[in-house]
Amino acid sequence: MNDLINHIIDTIDKKGVQRNCKKILKKCSFKSSKDLGNITELAVWLYVYEFYDQAISVCDLVKDVPFTGDYTLWGNIDSALCIKARILRLRGRNKDSAEIIRLINEHRSPELYKNLVDWFEKDIDSAIKNNLENNWKADVRQGRLLKLEAAIQYREAGGFPISDKKFEDIIREMVDILAVER
């Protein structure tokens, strides 16, 4: 793992990538939701900057972490695997992508998705707007990263009561906004 993260930190000079690499190198436990969140956030930043091979490699760091019933930990693993599945699908590797999604969906409850629509469509946007109004730049960035991560997660796993087209539009918008960060 350290070799991969060191290679990324040495070759990709983007603030979000660098920041997450440093956090991962300092401490990384697969039993910590914060540490798993740093891995997922690194994968999101790599996706934003179109370093897709590196994003897949980062996502692969968690591919063998077993589901233990702890959804706080699993949410980050789920997100990372959805990022990998998306990249594979966009590259035409639909069978590989579908296999990842099949495994992810073994631990999901689609009947609960309707409970997340307001959070996804209203709450995240409201928080971003509030943070913009208060000029809290780091919180704005985090809100947009969360929106992008959730859009990828819900779009790729399927079954969410929002259209794929709307998810794709949101993903494109968030990537366009986040990609201008150095």
Domains identified in the chain, total number: 1
pLDDT at 112: 86
What percent of the chain is modeled with pLDDT above 90? Answer: 95
Q: 79-107 b/e with 16+ CB inside 10 Å = b?
A: bbbbbbbbbbbeeeeeeebeebbeebeee
Range(s) of the domain holding residue 45? 2-178
pLDDT for 121 beyond 90? yes
pLDDT in tens, 55-111: 999 999 999 999 999 999 999 999 999 999 999 999 999 999 999 999 999 999 888
Average pLDDT over residues 143-170: 96
pLDDT for 37 beyond 90? yes
Q: With contact defined as beta carbons under 8 Å apart, do 30 and 1 qualify?
A: no
pLDDT in tens, 38-53: 999 999 999 999 999 9
pTM, two decimals, is: 0.95
pLDDT at 48: 98
